[in-house]
Amino acid sequence: METTQQYVLILLKILGTLGLLIFGMRMMSTALQKMAGSQLRHVLGRMTTNRFMGMLTGTAVTCAVQSSSATTVMTVSFVSAGLLTLGQAISVIMGANIGTTLTAWIMSLGYNVDLTNVVFPSFLVGILLIYHKRHRYKGDFLFGIAFMFFSLVLLSSAGKELDLEHNEAVMRFFSSFDTSSYLSILSFLAIGTVITCIVQSSAAVMAITILLCSTGVLPIYLGIALVMGENIGTTATANLAALGANTEARRAALAHLLFNVFGVIWVMCVFYPFVDLVCKLVGYDVTAGGQSERLPIVLAMFHTCFNVTNTAILIGFIPQMERVVRWLLPDKEQGQNEPFKLLYIKSNLIQTPEIAVMQAQKETAHYGKRVQEMFGLVRTMLNERDNDKIEDIYQQIERDEDVTDEAEITIARFLEQVSDGHLSDDSKMKVRQMLREIGEIESIGDSCYRLARTIQRRNQQGREFNDDQQQHINEMTALCDSALSQMNLVLEERLEDHYLRQTYYYENQINSLRDKLKSDNAKAIDERQYDYALGTAYGDLVGELEKLGDYVVNVVEARFGQM
């Protein structure tokens, strides 16, 4: 009875230690993303110019954040937001698989080196940095590393307490599996896959695998089968995150799965020779047995050799992988009148708040382009003479106005969700800026609708502007369209001073023209050049166009941080 209780307590200690390991890695990953913040996008954008640079980028980022899942979800998010192409994403994911092998090496180190002397000073320095506001993210990062190393120390200690190598029942259970049988290998491969899918952490499963192998309980062939299963199971995180995303994002996640499945298939074809070769590289004799202290190193070496070789084989076939995933996930046919919908942000991809901010920026830029297209319909409506076509355009603008209202609310809700996460100060400011931007962009949509309604009312009254009125209105709409184009350049993150100056230039031109046209309009009505009703419609259009110009300036100022 006492033995059973002892095992239960040790098991609880192991489960708690795994929780500490996952927490430490997540804390470290989140802190690094906060420190990098806005730089992450630029790093990926600049370093994915070709497949090899993309692979190196994926490796470097994953080594830094210690989570291939974080890198792949980040990559899928970037593809969803249009920041990376599918080919670039595949190369980054290949690199992420190499980068994640560092985790196994760190864990094997934890079983062979006493990390206690490193852990406690790291906690001390980390907590001091956390209380220093300027360096709190560095403190979080150091704290995450300390938690990770501390969990490895505890896990190694728990493994020794279990003393499984002297437990006849456990030894008998694992020895009942025939390590020379592919059926046993496939069974443990499936177990590794399922467990990793459930716990959503290949690191935790790797830690358990190393624990079992280091105690001499789990034969190395079965341990390696678990590692291969972990490689497949870890793809579940990105695929789950991409479920509600756009087609390109789902293709990137599927490419990750196909990449790892292909690797497992070819390794299974040469399983025993390949494992024996890896064992020889680290000086472990499979036939002799014993040397359980070297087994963590064998697992880490296999993990590295597997992912490096798999990448070396497939990196030259990225275009073919693209074609395969495009064939498996074809583009959906879209009707001509399909309603506008958000393209870049999906609530299920808010796994990394800093990346979600970038997605929202991309969506806001798309929102700006949408209202400019809406304004283009207003300009077409102004110059159209066919009553039926004018009515059709008005109905389209009316539908677009409802959609822009919905888009504002949806983006705002997304930003509220993002704000609930732990954001850097810079990203918090960006969220506040975007909330103002989308409000002003929605006002532009409202202006477009009011312009269209004025034009339709004039049309229903059977009236037309004279040549001078039409020319002046066209001049003003051209200025507004130029201002909208400038606004959309700024929303694409081209924050250069001359764009702000150019926006103010258009605003001044619009204001000057508004003043002139209002004065001329009042004079023309007095001189009976046209009646009061037509003059009122003309004046309403001029006034609304000037308001639209003001909203454009507000958007640009918000993006430049002039709140």
**Residue ranges of the domains in the chain?**
2-328, 347-559
CB half-sphere exposure, 299, CA atoms < 13 A: 38
| Cα 348 to chain centroid, rounded | 10
The greatest distance separating any two alpha carbons of the chain, rounded to the nearest whole angstrom, comes to: 110
Say how far apart CA 226 and CA 216 lie, in whole Å: 15
Superfamily classification of domain 347-559: Phosphate transport system protein phou homolog 2; domain 2 (1.20.58.220)
Q: Which of 221, 239, 330, 197 is nearest to 279 (CA)?
A: 221
Question: Rounded CA gap, 277 and 265, in Å?
Answer: 18
DSSP string covering 396-448: HHHHHHHHHHHHHHHHHHHHHHHHTS---HHHHHHHHHHHHHHHHHHHHHHHH
Report which DSSP code applies to 132: S
Burial class from Cβ neighbours inside 10 Å (0-12, 13-18, 19+) for residue 551 reads buried
Alpha carbon distance 135, 258 (integer Å):
41
| Per-residue pLDDT, 113 | 62
- What the block records as the tokens of 222 is 């079965």
CB-based burial, 485-511: b 16+ in 10 Å, e otherwise: ebbbbbbbeeeeeebbebbeebbebbe
Spatial CA neighbour of 367 closest among 430, 263, 442, 268: 442
| pLDDT value at residue 346 | 61
**Cβ contacts of 133 within 8 Å, gap of 6 or more:** none
Q: How far is CA 450 from CA 369, 401, 474, in A?
A: 19, 10, 17
User: Cα-flanking dihedrals φ and ψ of residue 332, to 5°?
Assistant: -80, 140
pLDDT at 386: 80
pTM, rounded to two decimals? 0.64
Contact between 507 and 552 (Cβ < 8 Å)? yes
DSSP-derived letter for residue 50 is: S
Q: How far is CA 264 from CA 97, 115, 260, 325, in A?
A: 13, 33, 6, 18
Burial status of residue 383 (CB atoms within 10 A of its CB: 0-12, 13-18, 19 or more): exposed
Contacts of 495 (CB under 8 A, 6+ apart): 559, 560
What local confidence, expressed as pLDDT, does residue 438 receive?
92
Rounded to whole angstroms, how far apart are CA atoms 408 and 511? 27
User: What's the rounded Cα separation, in Å, for the pair 234 and 239?
Assistant: 9
**Tokens 């003003």 correspond to what residue?**
476
Place of tokens 């609930």: 420
pLDDT of residue 550: 93
How does pLDDT run along the chain (563 residues), one tens digit per residue? Answer: 456 676 677 677 777 777 777 777 677 767 766 666 556 555 655 555 567 777 777 777 777 665 666 677 667 766 766 667 788 888 888 888 888 777 778 777 666 666 667 777 878 888 888 777 677 777 887 887 777 777 777 766 666 666 555 566 666 766 777 778 888 888 889 888 888 887 766 777 777 787 777 777 778 888 888 888 888 888 877 777 666 666 777 888 888 889 889 989 999 989 889 988 888 888 777 666 556 667 788 888 888 898 899 988 888 888 888 889 888 888 765 444 444 466 777 655 445 666 677 778 888 988 999 999 999 999 999 888 888 888 889 999 988 888 888 888 888 888 888 777 667 677 788 888 999 999 999 999 999 999 999 888 888 877 788 888 889 889 999 999 999 999 999 888 777 777 788 888 999 999 998 999 888 888 888 878 878 888 888 888 989 999 999 999 999 999 887 76
* CA nearest to 451, candidates 503, 404, 394: 394
Chain-centroid distance of CA 228 in Å reads 26
Query: Where do the H-state alpha helices sit in 81-167?
Result: 86-99, 101-112, 116-130, 136-162
Residues 6+ apart with CB under 8 A from 396: 377
Contacts of 184 (CB under 8 A, 6+ apart): 177, 178, 221, 222, 225
Both tokens of residue 458?
């004039």
450 within 8 A of 396, measured Cβ to Cβ: no
End-to-end CA distance of the chain: 69
Element of type H or E holding 236:
helix 235-241
